[in-house]
Structure 1
Amino acid sequence: MLASLALKAGGIALRRRRVNRRRQRGRPVTAASALPPNHRPSLWQPVPEPAKMRPMTIWTIHFLNTRHALTPIMPEIRAAAREAIALTEAHADLPRFDLVIRGQAGGGIPDWGVGGHAPAPGLIEVTLNPARFDPALLMRTLVHELHHLVRWDGPGYGKSLGEALVSEGLAGHFVLQVLGGRPDPWDATTPSAGLAKRALTEWSRLQYDHAEWFFGKGKIRKWTGYGLGHRLLAEHLAQNPDQDAVSLAMTRADSFREAMRRLAKADGAEIEEIVEAPIVAASEETADAAAQAESGEPAAEDNAGRDLPAPA
């Protein structure tokens, strides 16, 4: 023990002499310069805490491919799906889900060859035209639907017009957040004059016609619901620049009603005269229509072949 103390005292004395010599020569004194020449730094280094990582998404892809229409492009489909999910995971935590892919000649959105929807929690269904397959368009479709999946585990897609507008607007802005580029064609649709006022009036209506608002199955221009929803979210985000499509994924639709009022006012509507339609209890027929609205699909008779005009 005495020998150990003597060695320690000798080391301290040596460091003091080295410090004094450097001071006499006008050199700066550092912690390293005070150490003896044969000093070896400790091999032990503190281990930094690992960076927090998002949990890996559990998902399964299912090909409806009995007739082998998808066989030639299955590797490309898998690669595009993996890339879309990986890019999305960098922005949001995804729930477990199943991805169902089916091929159909002439299927999907015209000029895109792919269309999708998220009809229920944990499920995405995609129809694509094998002859017109484009991995980039499949990725944009999947990112859109992945936001719907996230929202399904919160307030859901929604049963009223206002809820559907918000869900589609959020999904469209999420595509831009993850993939960039310009808004997709349906999101870039300009609503006709007066439709913002009408949407505000019918905001809480459960028996709204989803096919008319979103797919052009009536007097409203095709894709108007997507375009109006996109503008609604743009208006909200302009007033709340600290928010984005991810932070708003679990926000209920009523939080966006004020943004719709501003759009209606800019559209020339007299807000004071607008009387919003009351919420009507759903009958069996209304409940069926609302269920279709939740899935983002028009009613069955308007959706033969399920070639959706735009992702829902």
Structure 2
Amino acid sequence: MDWRLHWLEAEGDLAPWRDRIAAEIEAARQAVAGLLPPFCLDILVERLTGAVIPETGTTGRAYRPGLCSLTLDPLNPNFAASLDNGDIRRTIAHEVHHCRRFAGPGYGRTLGEALVSEGLAGQFAGTLFNAPPEPWECALDDAVLRAHLPSATDLRALDHDHAGWFFGAGGRHPRWFGYTLGYRIVGDWLAAHPAPDGETWVNVPADRVLAASPWSATA
């Protein structure tokens, strides 16, 4: 597992937290190495005020099989807690899952495929570290989920409104709906197929996961 950190600090110094951040990323690397074959990865680590999830002071993004980023905002009031509660290692694990899925079936173009990719990444990180769902993975109760369930046409559409379904942009769907629904869908698949190996975690077809969950029965 050759993971290389690249510190982008032109817009803010991360020196006071570098050792802690690096240790958290190393914890993620070691956990991932226990399940997935070795692979090379570049990780961009940057500080950008306000460009994070407000509830954590952090965020991540996957770009392609060998590249992801971790963005941090030490001025966010929740950042200190994220250093202590494992948020950074789980964020990296989540983005690493996306990176490895990019190398296989891909993130996906349809809403159904996106739900599965996000749910897999979230459940993968939670499983590696025996962690409860993140706030965006348990943001809505069953009644709200049912009220906004996508139709079969929605699930298969190639032009779905990703920002609307996942972030609540435009006000049509609640914030984090897609993350919560995807987490639940993948949870049902895991209940039927417990303890998947690394190959299955990364490469399982989206249709197979959707078929295992009543939350996507409309597919």
Give the TM-score band, short-chain normalised: 0.7 to 0.9
Say whether 1:263 aligns with 2:215.
yes
- 1:127 aligned counterpart, secondary structure: strand
Which amino acid counterpart does residue 204 of structure 2 have in structure 1?
T
Deviation for aligned residue 1:201 = 3.0
Alignment of 1:176-215 (within 5 A): 176-190=126-140, 191-196=144-149, 198-215=150-167
- 1:130 aligned counterpart, secondary structure: coil
Task: Flag the 1:188–1:170 CA change in 2: closer, same or farther, 3 A.
Answer: same
Instruction: Report what 1:91 is aligned to.
Output: 35
Separation in structure 1 between the aligned mates of residue 198 and residue 178 of structure 2, nearest angstrom: 18
Which amino acid counterpart does residue 160 of structure 1 have in structure 2?
T
Separation in structure 2 between the aligned mates of residue 60 and residue 263 of structure 1, nearest angstrom: 39
Alignment of 1:1-312 (within 5 A): 57-131=1-75, 132-133=79-80, 134-135=82-83, 136-190=86-140, 191-196=144-149, 198-218=150-170, 219-241=172-194, 243=196, 247-260=200-213, 262-264=214-216
Aligned residues: 209
Name whichever structure is richer in helix by fraction. 2
- 2:13 aligned counterpart, secondary structure: coil
With normalisation by structure 1, the TM-score equals 0.62
* 2:168 and 2:176 in contact (8 A); partners too: yes
* 2:11 and 2:47 in contact (8 A); partners too: no
- 2:30 aligned counterpart, secondary structure: helix
Which amino acid counterpart does residue 101 of structure 1 have in structure 2?
V
Structure 1 gaps of 5+ residues are 1-56, 266-270, 277-312
Percent identity for Structure 1 against Structure 2: 34
Q: Greater Rg, structure 1 or structure 2?
A: 1
Name whichever structure is richer in strand by fraction. 2
Task: Flag the 1:244–1:176 CA change in 2: closer, same or farther, 3 A.
Answer: farther
Separation in structure 2 between the aligned mates of residue 189 and residue 245 of structure 1, nearest angstrom: 28
User: What is the CA RMSD across the aligned residues, in angstroms?
Assistant: 2.0
Which amino acid counterpart does residue 189 of structure 2 have in structure 1?
H
* 1:101 and 1:125 in contact (8 A); partners too: yes
* 1:174 and 1:245 in contact (8 A); partners too: no
CA deviation profile, 1:58-95 (whole Å, cap 9, x unmatched): 12111111355212211211111111111221122242
- 1:63 aligned counterpart, secondary structure: strand
* 2:111 and 2:155 in contact (8 A); partners too: yes
With normalisation by structure 2, the TM-score equals 0.87
Structure 2 gaps of 5+ residues are none
Separation in structure 1 between the aligned mates of residue 151 and residue 198 of structure 2, nearest angstrom: 21
